Amino acid sequence: MISPASRIFCAVDTTDLDAARILAGQVAGAVGGIKLGLEFFVAQGPAGVRAVIGEDGPPLFLDLKLHDIPNTVAGGVRAALPLRPAFMTIHSSGGSAMMRAAAEAASVAGPDRPKMLAVTVLTSLDAADLSAVGQDAAVADQVKRLALLAKESGMDGVICSPAEVAMLRAACGPDFILMVPGIRPVWAAANDQKRLMTPAQAVAAGADHLVIGRPITGQPDPAEAARRIAAEIEAAETGEAAR
């Protein structure tokens, strides 16, 4: 069974290289991997990623959320392969041809290729936000539609909110990876996240991995916060097993 700590990818969202290295060092051993995304990558680029992860560092989730025409996204994926990410993201709303091109580009790396994940509906959006951009489907229906398209288009999994995990696990099967942000322990602030649940609820619903930033990185002792979250997941899992 996958350990609670190894499910957690800590989102290191900063522009500062030293701060990122310190955070990654602090949470090493308390989480399963490090997520570096837009904010860090724009500021520090591939060299910064290498400086944080190192040669034999933790699994890297490179969350660039690529969204462009198929040729450009495929080029972006190929350019990221030397960083050896375990996971990469593109936007499912870029469409099937874009996702297929990305999957094909990743496959060049062979068995060590990154697992390709498609963002469905950002966890910061609710029904009113979707409606404002012309999408009047219920959020869960839109997430399901995009996840099924992602699966058909060769994606290994999706990014979804914890609220859609149980539904997607049933719709997409046991092997489709569900990487889940919008995670908030009861003791953490929601910030800009709108579709959220606790870590224990997300894992109980069937999430494979949890992406957690501010509830860990905003604490005075990030490692202690990560361990606290892992303990909450473990308590829920043990309780479930005992029932």
- Determine if residue 50 is labeled as part of a ligand binding site: no
Question: For residues 92 and 134, is the Cβ–Cβ distance under 8 A?
Answer: no
Write the binding mask 15 to 44 for ligand LLZGTKA7: x where contact by CB under 6 A, - elsewhere. Answer: ----------------------x-------
- Determine if residue 71 is labeled as part of a ligand binding site: yes
Q: How far is CA 165 from the centre of its chain?
A: 13
Question: For residues 177 and 156, is the Cβ–Cβ distance under 8 A?
Answer: yes
From 58, 85, 181, 222, residue interacting with ligand LLZGTKA7 (rule: CB under 6 A): 181
Whole-number Cα distances in Å, 156 to 41, 72, 209, 241: 23, 20, 13, 28
| Parallel, antiparallel or unpaired: strands 209-212 and 60-66 | unpaired
Position with the least CB separation from ligand LLZGTKA7: 213
CB of 11 to ligand LLZGTKA7, least distance (A): 4
From 26, 44, 193, 201, residue interacting with ligand LLZGTKA7 (rule: CB under 6 A): 193
Whole-angstrom distance, CA of residue 42 vs CA of residue 56: 23
Total number of residues that touch ligand LLZGTKA7 (CB under 6 A) = 16
What is the rounded end-to-end Cα distance, in angstroms, of the chain?
A: 18
Residue 143 touching ligand LLZGTKA7 (CB under 6 A): no
Residue 122 touching ligand LLZGTKA7 (CB under 6 A): yes
What type of residue is 18? D
From 42, 191, 221, 238, residue interacting with ligand LLZGTKA7 (rule: CB under 6 A): 191
CB of 193 to ligand LLZGTKA7, least distance (A): 5
Residue 159 touching ligand LLZGTKA7 (CB under 6 A): yes
Whole-angstrom distance, CA of residue 2 vs CA of residue 66: 29
Whole-number Cα distances in Å, 12 to 26, 132, 171, 213: 11, 30, 31, 6
- Determine if residue 35 is labeled as part of a ligand binding site: yes
Whole-angstrom distance, CA of residue 62 vs CA of residue 243: 38
Pick out the residues of the known binding site for substrate.
13, 35, 63-72, 123, 184, 193, 213-214
Contact positions vs ligand LLZGTKA7 (CB under 6 A): 11, 13, 37, 119, 122-123, 159, 181-182, 191, 193, 211-215
